[in-house]
Amino acid sequence: MLNHQVVLVSRPEGWVTPANFRFQEAAIPSPGPGQVLIQNQWLSLDPYMRGRISEAKSYARSVNIGDVMVGGAVGEVIASNAPKFSVGDTVLAASGWQLFAAMDASAVTPIRTDKVSPSAYLGVLGMPGITAWTGLIDICQPREGETVVVDAASGAVGSVVGQLAKLQGCRVVGIAGGTEKCRYVAQELGFDACIDHRSAHFASELAAALPSGIDCLFENVGGEIFERLLSHMNVSSRIALCGMVSEFNREPYANRTLRSILINRIRIQGFIVSDKLETWPSIRDNLYDLVVQEKLKFRESVTVGLENAPAAFIGLLKGENFGKQLIKLR
């Protein structure tokens, strides 16, 4: 048997292309002292990866040319030199775009899979779900009866944000791309409204859905959508600035309504969820309980095969996924 890997071979200029990656074979690594060998089963694809393959200044170092692409994965321990883990354990680790990985035990998290699927730990119970909780509960701090807006509402983060806000007793408006995604957000996730940003009447439909303005905004998209939302913010409103995915493949958008932050005394905070890793276990426990109690729904887009990861990643950046984008490895 051989390890299969996807490595970065060039940095994209504009949109990511398949030519930026190479599929290669390598020897399966042997775990050293205090390490485990993991055979990955599920690979996570996430928007943050676009920043990691750029040389632009960011919160984490760029992936070096020739290195295996970064990413979270769920897999099975098939060899262990660490007392904490046994062969057969299902675990979560940032083991990258490959089938096998030797990891320090300190960088591996055991997960419970008796009541939830292992793949959920890459979405609703993983970094996306914890991001949603941190931005909404800790930063926006919504109060009952307030209006919460989240864009990219059908995605892995946005879908959790909206459901958590509903559990807080808020009125929730989502923004998504396409009628099918908006139907899912409103009818299956229970948002009060969802506006299709591709609609020719987006501005008027958004205004109609926000008669009382916005108290809390969970911002994932940036660009023109963020510009439009800023004009609906209320006095003393709050913004959790999570992402700017619409600007990953172009020059930053020149916002013209930033004065709304001053006029409305808006509190805006950018955040990187990995800055507070110590909060992850308790947040994950809260999310786990909600999922088991069927109070938190999630959807997954599954692509089969590591060799298809680059194409699926490009589709993710273009909004072609529906819910959490995963690669099924075996």
Q: Which domains does the chain have, with CATH numbers?
A: 3-122+298-328 (3.90.180.10), 127-274 (3.40.50.720)
Cα–Cα distance for residue pair 56/45, rounded to 1 Å: 20
Residue-level pLDDT at 55? 83
Residue 205 has what DSSP assignment?
H
- Cα 134 to chain centroid distance, Å, stands at 12
Residue-level pLDDT at 182? 97
Positions in the chain short of pLDDT 50:
none
| Tokens at 247, concatenated | 């600007």
CB of 167 closer than 8 Å to CB of 142: no
Residue 68 has what DSSP assignment?
B
DSSP secondary structure, 148-169, as one string: EEEESTTSTTHHHHHHHHHHTT
Residue-level pLDDT at 150? 98
The residue with tokens 């940095």 is 11
Cα–Cα distance for residue pair 302/297, rounded to 1 Å: 16
Q: What angle do CA 61, 275, 97 make, to 5 degrees?
A: 45
At position 5, the amino acid (one-letter code) is Q
The residue with tokens 């013209």 is 256
Q: Which residues contact 260 (CB under 8 A, 6 or more apart)?
A: 230, 231, 233, 266
CB of 140 closer than 8 Å to CB of 219: no
Backbone angles phi, psi at 19, to 5 degrees: -65, -15
Q: What is the CA radius of gyration of the chain?
A: 20
Residue 47 has what DSSP assignment?
T
Backbone angles phi, psi at 252, to 5 degrees: -55, 140
